[in-house]
Amino acid sequence: MPTPSLLIVPSRWKTGSPGKLYSQIPTNGNGDFNVTGVVTGGTSIGTRVNNIGYIEPITTSGTPRLDYYTSSGVPGCPALLVEPSGTNLCLQSEDFLTTWTPTNVSATTGTTAAFTAPDGTTNADLITATSNGPSFIGQNLTIASGTYTISVFAKAGNYGLFRIGNVSSVARAAWFNLDAGAVTGTVNGGTASMQNYGNGWYRCTYTSTGVVTGSPTVFFAPSDAPNSTNAVSGSSIYFWGAQLETGSVATSYIPTTAGTGSRSADVVSVSGAVSGSIGQTEGTIYAEVDIRNVGLGEGSIVTLFQASNNYVEILRGTLNRIQASIADSAGSTNLTTTTGFITANSIYKIALGYKSGEFALYVNGTQVATSSAARTIGGLTTVRLGSYSTSFIFNDRIRAAALYTTRLTNADLLLLTLPGNNTYLPQAVWDNYLSRPGNSEVPDCLYTRHADLLDV
């Protein structure tokens, strides 16, 4: 397997340093990516799960959001989180004693370990029902009717059943069992899900079309049974980090206080000196992505770009498909899976071999599309991760990527994308790592491995 001209891997986070996003094999790190979307001293706040499993804000301009979240609730290998802009419409998202209106519930806070929130502070709130009837804590907001996603981090207190709703449970609501980690039902359509954040915490999410202004616009309520609108008096649940946002996806958490909070889009790119690492008339793009979200529009994964009519790209296409697009002044050629392909919470290894008349797209060890179209490629100057420009944002996680300046053989493309196979790593890298005292085998985590080895 040839050596990549450019290996893009999330690095370890370094104190006092924004970190680098890539290394050029074997040791050259010239041409770090430019990252925009997080503003120093501004109101734009992006968060990530750090390497010890806590949610933390990234407020330094130029810092990539390397996210360690895994579905087990235990931090794993980092991946580059690339999301569009977003706004949390809930106020006082971490303080249910302020702005939120209690109805047959009491809200308390504390300093014991039980109140430790997903950000590691003891600022979670305990909501306790004081009636056997409808009991909830809610917030009235002014919004236009549309598709919204409501989410909150919740942990069982002495009880584990609760619901998220808009205006009333008869109109739009979803029920969650925090003891079982399971959604128990919804009304009037909508979808619901739960993500494990460890220490008993789940991010519970409800998406519905037709969410409207009302009293309350958003509410969280203990329930005495699945799909019930009543509570058990004395039942208690911990809450933290409420979020209401437009669209059908719960994006990363945006904290708020007295006003709404916003996050700018993540835009990650490098140009100039990197052009020598881009295959021009021919080449190969490799990417490994962690798909958490499905049913979205187009989202770029890796783009080699010069102009809107001169680029090579792999992307998440429409209808849950992996796709590639190659354009020149005469038009564009698209390679795509022929049937629905992407499923949520899955890893995909993708490779595109490009050369005029010899295009091939492989996903997870399978050739999914080819094309013999004639395309004149050249003059590519920029590498973009997770967006085509400032649009077509991937809205998910990129675990690794690599560029080759030659169009690899189909056999090599298969090996590149075969699940569990890391053949594309150059032998010199393996040998270097294994030659170090105490290193008897290459660790499972590809990204930490390269951060350790290349000190990026």
Q: What is the mean pLDDT of residues 310-318?
A: 93
Q: How far apart are CA 13 and CA 50, in angstroms?
A: 9
Please give the helix or strand (H or E) that residue 283 lies within, else none. strand 282-291
Q: For residue range 179-198, what is the model confidence (pLDDT) as tens digits? A: 999 999 998 889 999 999 99
Please, what are the domains in the chain?
A: 6-83+266-454 (2.60.120.200), 87-263 (2.60.120.260)
Among 149-158, 225-234, 298-307, 398-407, the range scoring the smallest mean pLDDT is 398-407
- Written as one letter, the residue type at 244 is L
Q: What is the mean pLDDT of residues 311-336?
A: 92
Closest CA to 153 of 108, 199, 190: 199
Q: How far apart are CA 421 and CA 149, in angstroms?
A: 37
Q: How far apart are CA 211 and CA 171, in angstroms?
A: 9
Please measure the distance between the N-terminal and C-terminal CA atoms of the chain and give it in whole angstroms: 23
Q: For residue range 148-166, what is the model confidence (pLDDT) as tens digits? A: 999 999 999 999 999 999 9
Tokens of 18: 């924004």
Q: What is the mean pLDDT of residues 107-131?
A: 96
Phi, psi of 219 (to 5 degrees): -145, 155
* Bridge partners (DSSP) listed for residue 151: 205, 243
State the DSSP code for 62: T
Q: What is the pTM for the complete model shown? A: 0.88
Average pLDDT over the chain, rounded to whole? 85
